[in-house]
Amino acid sequence: MNISFNEQNRVFKLDTEHTSYCIGIVDEENFVGHIYYGRKLTEDNLVYLMRTEEAPFVPSQYNRERTSFLDSFLMEYTGNGLGDYRESTLEVRTMGGHTGVSLSYVSHRIYDGKEELPGLPATFGKDTECKTLELTCEDPVLHLQIILSYSIFADNDAIARSVKIVNGGQEPIYLTKVLSACIDMDNDDYEMISLHGSWARERAIQTRPVMKGKQSVSSVRGESSHQDHPFIAWKKKETTEENGDIYAMNFIYSGNFLAQIEEDQFDNIRVVMGIHPNNFCWKLEVGESFQAPEVICLYSADGIGGMTRNFHDLYRRHLIRGEYKDKKRPILINNWEATYFDFNTEKLLSIARQASELGIEMLVMDDGWFGCRNDDNSSLGDWQVNEDKLKGGLKYLVDEVNKLGMKFGIWLEPEMVSPDSDLYRAHPDWAIAIPGRVGSLARNQYVLDLTRKEVRDYVYEMIAAVLRSANIEYVKWDMNRQLSDIGSYGLPADRQGELFHRQVLAVYELQDRMTKEFPHLLLENCSGGGARFDGGMLYYSPQIWCSDDADAVERLSIQAGTALIYPLSTMGAHVSDCPNHTVGRITPFKTRGYVALAGTFGYELDVTKIPEEDRNMIPEQVAMYHKYNDLVREGDYYRIANYADNHYYDCYEVVAKDKGEALVTYVQVLGRPKMQSMRVRIPGLEPEGTYVIENAQDWPEIKQTQYKGATLHYAGINIPPLTGDFQGRLMHLIRK
């Protein structure tokens, strides 16, 4: 990794192991231009690539058409309203009501390491592990400083970008849009990849051509959302899983976002990402600064899979923190689908007793243990134990569970309040609301206004009191509604536009306080399933509940979409009850186990009630988890076939970093008559290494059990047709 500055040409060059990124300062106005992003180059004089002298866009002092220049030049970051008519990344409103803003390079700093972003999640690394370039730019009229940061890593090709705005002027200014990153480049017939979904079917992969105009994905729901995802990639048409150019941006943030590709009149593209400008307006007093969240930019020449593996490594090493960062997680059993709200101490203990005998390591008590919460109509905010349900109290239950040799975990939804709660009755103004309007309910609840310090402190003390009261070793932090009716009784009129972002900052602050006071806690974020599965949350919790749909077949595509960016170690995945509570499908218990193995692994069922045959399989699944989890958590992930595309089968693989072993998961979703065996190519192995199928007994149809890595990759292996729908198998390959 290296960052250099060629003073003569005024070119910055950032080199990761396989990529180069070049920025040029041009013209007497010191515009910051984008020159190149792609495969690693040794040459640093790329100034000739900048189209500064192509008529009619001549930026000379005497013969300039500034609007034409600004509207075509490839920028690193943009101002607004002065001639660049493409999507802007920074917009302001002065006290005089004007919106023009521009930026010119002033100075720079290159340093070892990477600074924290105050109050925000961000990637990190030691001084020996990363380097940062900080470009300080200024609007010469407003005296607004715009500091662009770029950090690179010794062991990864990602570039982490962020932007800080400092008001160096004489009066306050309103920031009405601050995106975090912009990449301008020539189009190359790109296709855009994005993730879309809904409740219970999050993050389906979508690919579409990049066309003239703007194509965007976004959330204005106050969270990253089930619907869209703060991720965007653009790749050449011919790019495959294994080969070809792909670029990507992923936002380390959990609130409103905009991610967009715009193709302009000259066939250039501008890709931007940042906080969505809708309902955003931040008042910056003189001398104050605003820090925009981080965007991870990636280029890979090794196809979609190359991009994925870079993201996984980056997040495992430089984003996820805490005690469980590199540790196997306890196998948990959660009572949500087992009991919903209908449980008591005895019921939970009966589940725990049975579970502990089967090798399950932690009981998680889900929603319904507090206030008078017997359905979802009440009590959020009243975090006192319901002793009618939990006779003897929480500590008694936890101690009894601990006596069984199991850990205990609890569900919380700290950001919310039910209208039918003591908290709301005492403080109706603590909910986010617009005065004079009847608030819009979602799941019968309102969102607490965490922008107010007294509300944050109250919420923190409530949850900390619960955690201090017993030996609680895991928290599932849920958020079951999106934001609406944006209004705060605590913010002045000209700061209401800060609410969305301040609310996200408040959630980060609460999780930061909690993980500091309880450093041994395993935190799992959740939002009505997987609506807040994002890089921001991963900074606080090493795992996130992927989706409320735990059906093994639905999970194939949900987990494939999630794993496009996020490591398998982060995906909350459980074996759930059948018929599945969301789609009614009946799948074999074995297959449910194989699919959950690709995530954190656990159970979401009443283990005392499931068929004995299934229950008897649990010890085997537990052993399988212990056998494979190090590999699944730490290995390189390869997508081989996606059921969402081929409608027949799904296949993926995890290869150990030293290529000594690999685990292939194969799920034949639908049985078909008169089928040949399926030729499956298994990549990522050492080409000349000899691999044996370690669990050959599970593949009686396959006679040959030993292959060279290259043979498995290029020629493949024939997987026999399996009888029945929803049939899964694992293949464990070991290098001899």
* 306 vs 602, beta carbon nearer ligand DGJ: 602
Q: How far is the CB of 555 from ligand DGJ (least distance, A)?
A: 14
Sole window of 21-29, 38-46, 294-302, 525-533 interacting with ligand DGJ (rule: CB under 6 A): 525-533
> Interface with ligand DGJ includes 480 (CB under 6 A)?
yes
Sole window of 175-183, 249-257, 424-432, 524-532 interacting with ligand DGJ (rule: CB under 6 A): 524-532
Binding residue count for ligand DGJ, defined by CB under 6 A: 11
Q: Taking Cα atoms as reference points, which of 629, 30, 719 lies closest to residue 331?
A: 629
Q: How far is the CB of 633 from ligand DGJ (least distance, A)?
A: 22
Q: Taking Cα atoms as reference points, which of 23, 282, 270 lies closest to residue 165?
A: 282
> Interface with ligand DGJ includes 526 (CB under 6 A)?
yes
Query: Which residues, including other chains, have CB under 8 Å from residue 501's CB and lie 6 or more apart?
Result: 255, 256, 275, 280, 282
φ/ψ of 431, rounded to 5, equals -95, 150
Q: How far is the CB of 411 from ligand DGJ (least distance, A)?
A: 6
Beta strands in 57-143 (DSSP E): 90-93, 104-112, 130-139
Report the C-alpha gap between 95 and 101 in whole angstroms.
13
* 526 vs 564, beta carbon nearer ligand DGJ: 526
Asked if 373 and 367 count as a contact pair (C-beta separation under 8 A), the reply is: yes
Q: How far is the CB of 550 from ligand DGJ (least distance, A)?
A: 9
Record the tokens describing residue 536, joined without a space. 């921001």
* 222 vs 528, beta carbon nearer ligand DGJ: 528
* 73 vs 336, beta carbon nearer ligand DGJ: 336
* 367 vs 661, beta carbon nearer ligand DGJ: 367
> Interface with ligand DGJ includes 603 (CB under 6 A)?
no
Cα angle: 734, vertex 735, 736; to 5 degrees: 110
Asked if 98 and 79 count as a contact pair (C-beta separation under 8 A), the reply is: no
* 361 vs 478, beta carbon nearer ligand DGJ: 478
Q: How far is the CB of 526 from ligand DGJ (least distance, A)?
A: 5
Candidate list 478, 551, 577, 650, residue with the active-site label: 478
* 210 vs 459, beta carbon nearer ligand DGJ: 459
> Interface with ligand DGJ includes 366 (CB under 6 A)?
yes
Q: How far is the CB of 59 from ligand DGJ (least distance, A)?
A: 54
φ/ψ of 580, rounded to 5, equals -55, 135
Torsion sign (Cα): 241, 38, 564, 645: negative
Q: How far is the CB of 367 from ligand DGJ (least distance, A)?
A: 4
The CA distances from residue 450 to 277, 430, 588, in Å, are 21, 8, 44
Task: Quote the distance between the C-alpha of residue 494 and its chain's center.
Answer: 32
> Interface with ligand DGJ includes 529 (CB under 6 A)?
yes
> Interface with ligand DGJ includes 162 (CB under 6 A)?
no
| Amino acid identity at 390 | L
Q: What phi-psi label fits residue 352: left (phi over 0), alpha (psi between -120 and 50 degrees) or beta?
A: alpha
Segment 297 to 356, residues that bind ligand DGJ, using CB under 6 A = 336
Report the C-alpha gap between 362 and 348 in whole angstroms.
12
Query: Which residues, including other chains, have CB under 8 Å from residue 377's CB and lie 6 or more apart?
Result: 418, 420, 444
- Residue number of the CB atom closest to ligand DGJ: 367
Helical segments of 494-578, H only: 499-517, 535-538, 552-562
- Which of 174, 299, 411, 566 binds ligand DGJ (CB under 6 A)? It is 411
Asked if 364 and 351 count as a contact pair (C-beta separation under 8 A), the reply is: no
Torsion sign (Cα): 394, 399, 400, 401: positive
> Interface with ligand DGJ includes 606 (CB under 6 A)?
no
Does residue 548 have an active-site annotation?
Answer: yes
Segment 459 to 478, residues that bind ligand DGJ, using CB under 6 A = 478
Sole window of 114-122, 415-423, 466-474, 521-529 interacting with ligand DGJ (rule: CB under 6 A): 521-529
> Interface with ligand DGJ includes 200 (CB under 6 A)?
no
* 411 vs 589, beta carbon nearer ligand DGJ: 411
- Which of 545, 637, 649, 652 binds ligand DGJ (CB under 6 A)? It is 545
Q: Taking Cα atoms as reference points, which of 352, 385, 329, 353 lies closest to residue 521?
A: 329
Which DSSP string corresponds to 243-280?
Answer: SB-EEEEEEE-SS-EEEEEEE-TTSEEEEEEES--TT-
Q: How far is the CB of 438 from ligand DGJ (least distance, A)?
A: 24
Q: What is the largest CA-CA distance in the chain?
A: 86
Segment 15 to 54, residues that bind ligand DGJ, using CB under 6 A = none
Cα angle: 573, vertex 574, 575; to 5 degrees: 140
- Which of 139, 548, 551, 650 binds ligand DGJ (CB under 6 A)? It is 548
Q: How far is the CB of 344 from ligand DGJ (least distance, A)?
A: 17
Record the tokens describing residue 318, joined without a space. 């430089």
- Which of 263, 367, 415, 473 binds ligand DGJ (CB under 6 A)? It is 367
* 274 vs 381, beta carbon nearer ligand DGJ: 381
Q: How far is the CB of 378 from ligand DGJ (least distance, A)?
A: 13
* 318 vs 389, beta carbon nearer ligand DGJ: 389
Q: Which residues of 595-627 are buried (b: 16+ CB within 10 A; e: fewer)?
A: bbbbbbbbbbbbbeebeeebbebbeebbebbee
Sole window of 44-52, 143-151, 204-212, 526-534 interacting with ligand DGJ (rule: CB under 6 A): 526-534
Candidate list 548, 549, 551, 650, residue with the active-site label: 548
Binding-site ranges for ligand DGJ (CB under 6 A): 336, 366-367, 411, 478, 480, 526, 528-529, 545, 548
Q: What are the residue numbers of the active site?
A: 478, 548
